[in-house]
A and B are shown apart, each in its own frame.
Chain A
Amino acid sequence: MKPFRLNRTQTFIFLSLLPAVLLVFGFTYFPILKGIDVAFRNYSLFNLTDVHYVGLDNFRAVMGTPQFGTILKNTALWVIISLVFQFAIGFLLALLMRKGFRGRGIYQGFVFYSWALSGFLIGIIFRWLFNGQIGVINDLLLNAGIITERIGFLSDPKWAMFSVIVANIWYGVAFFAIMLLAALQSVPSELYEAADIDGASGFSQLFNVTIPYIMPTILSTVALRVIWIFNFPDLIYGMTNGGPAGSTHILTTYMLDKIIFSGDYGQASAIGIICIIILLLFLVFYMFATKAEKAGDF
């Protein structure tokens, strides 16, 4: 048997990939795998000398808190309502912008810039806009006669979740608009010419030509976006920090709360595992519901 040796090209491939692979496996996969172990230990930042195994205690503690039902409900609302509106508005915009118009480049620069902001800063900006005493949203609604008294958008648990979702919709429309606009522009114009000859109306073209053609993009974008919104605590953290009285916590903000404020890594990791399980279930269900082959590769 010949000794195992790499030729020049193989050496090049190996050396070029080495830094990327070492970084990702050493500082992403390794900590995540260890984090899974931490979920079964008594692991608190304030007592790192005794990190014994506690079985499922962390899971019991997390799922046993009275808030847990609210957190799950908030997570569902956060993902579903944000996604529906981001998608609907983003799709409408993409359709309107498809044909192009003078100044579209500049227009895009003004309406898509939210992409460049951090969720945390957007949270801060909307915390100011939704302010209960002197917030401009209250002022606008009062002036328009829609409300007669100022609403404590962020201090009233009934309104707080609504407010953070509005901010999230504002943030995420650009993503869908950008993706769907690119997809729309990839539809070959011959398809529309043929539909015109057949006398198809605008609406029928939309549902029979456009949407079927860009379906793979729609499906993969939606799946990516669900995962992304699910894992996106930054905005809520900046806007309400889960408050008032825990009424705007979603799973990931709750997890951060455990890390940053209580230093309880065991429970935080347990929440992380719950997140991963939920996402896996979602992906399996999604692939099944949309028939994997249609979703394309993403």
Chain B
Amino acid sequence: MKKQWKIAGKAGKAVVLALYFIFMVFPLYWMVITSLKPRNEIFALPLQYWPKHISFENYVQIFKISKFQIYLGNSLFISLVAAAIVLVVTILSGYVLARFSFRGASQLMLAFFITQMIPLFIGFSTLYMMMSRMGLLNKQASLILMYTVGLVPFCTIMLRGFFQRIPSSLEEAAMIDGCSRLSALWRVIIPVMMPGISATFIFAFVQNWNELFMAIMFIDNETSKTLPVAMNSFITKFDIDWGSMSAATVLSVIPTVILFAICQRFIVEGLTQGAVKG
């Protein structure tokens, strides 16, 4: 009797997990399938759940009707540069906040936490004026600067958590051997922290890659547009052409989905270790 219950329980568990799998994968599957259908098949009823003919014309089209390769390049460049700057800034701040206790440290952490809760849109008017005065409007530098700013608090908190797990005896030993603190950090701690640092970098990259509203605010010319801004103009300008739109969506999500798939274990670890202190 009891054994039968156990088997039923296992089967039930498998069914629920399978249903959830379909629930999660189907939307992206549908986007990919749509993008691979010839244009007339997209709007033909009955809907084809598997395309009769696989075609790449939607992908060709998106590069023809827009400067898609430029947007891709801009997004890649801005996301990488901003993520790299974030790492340099927050490795220092995260390390100091993990290793030293000093007056104002907890207030600073609180100030970082609070930035995560206020809708930043409230400062957009001022930021717009600041960018304009600094001559950064329509320049990629505006986004590199603001993406860095936006990520500093969270990445500081995340890296601080990783640093706290590494015994400070490690760099102390190096310092006794004559290393300065900075070179101990660079030569001893950072190599040990590589999984955490990669997770932080990927997290930062993904956030930058996905950011939309600041990019809409600060960038209004073809040569500096990022992918989300381009997607935004596709949906606001005219009736949506779902063939090209699905191809553009697939191209925008593929990099982050692949990055996530490769490193999800580290990212999950990085995101949870702050919240869960068991």
Contacts and interface: CB of A to CB of B under 8 A. Distances in A.
B172 to A, nearest CB: 13
The interface residues of chain A, by DSSP majority, are classed as helix
Interface stretch (A65-73, A76-84, A112-120): A112-120
Interface in B141-186: 145-146, 148-150, 152-153, 156, 181-182
Interface stretch (B27-35, B54-62, B63-71, B190-198): B27-35
Contact of A265 (B124, B148, B228, B236): B124
A128 B30 contact: yes
B238 interface: no
B271 A13 contact: no
Contact of A24 (B115, B181, B231): B115
Nearest to B153: A24
A194 interface: no
A16 interface: yes
Interface in A66-113: 89, 92-93, 96-97, 105, 107-113
A35 B124 contact: yes
A200 interface: no
Contact of A105 (B210, B242, B265): B265
A197 to B, nearest CB: 17
A110 B264 CA distance: 10
Given A16-B93, A118-B228, A217-B276, A139 B47 contact: yes
B191 to A, nearest CB: 19
A279 B119 CA distance: 10
Contacts of B242: 128, 131
A186 B146 contact: no
Interface string B76-91: 0000000000000110
A116 B257 contact: yes
Interface stretch (A25-33, A53-61, A157-165, A204-212): A25-33
A120 B89 contact: no
The interface residues of chain B, by DSSP majority, are classed as helix
Interface centre among B16, B28, B125, B148, by most A CB within 10 Å?
B125
Contacts of A16: 92-93, 95-96
Interface in A21-53: 21, 23-25, 27-32, 34-36, 38-39, 43
In order of increasing CB-CB distance, the 7 nearest A-B pairs are: A186-B278, A31-B123, A118-B210, A272-B122, A265-B125, A116-B260, A182-B272
Interface of A: 9-10, 12-13, 16-17, 19-21, 23-25, 27-32, 34-36, 38-39, 43, 89, 92-93, 96-97, 105, 107-122, 124-129, 131, 134, 136, 139, 170, 174, 178-179, 182-183, 186-187, 217, 220-221, 224, 227, 231, 234, 237-238, 241, 252, 255-256, 259-260, 265, 268-269, 272-273, 275-276, 279, 296, 298
Given A13-B96, A20-B152, A178-B271, 10 more contacts: A19-B89, A23-B152, A30-B126, A35-B122, A107-B21, A115-B260, A117-B253, A122-B27, A125-B30, A238-B235
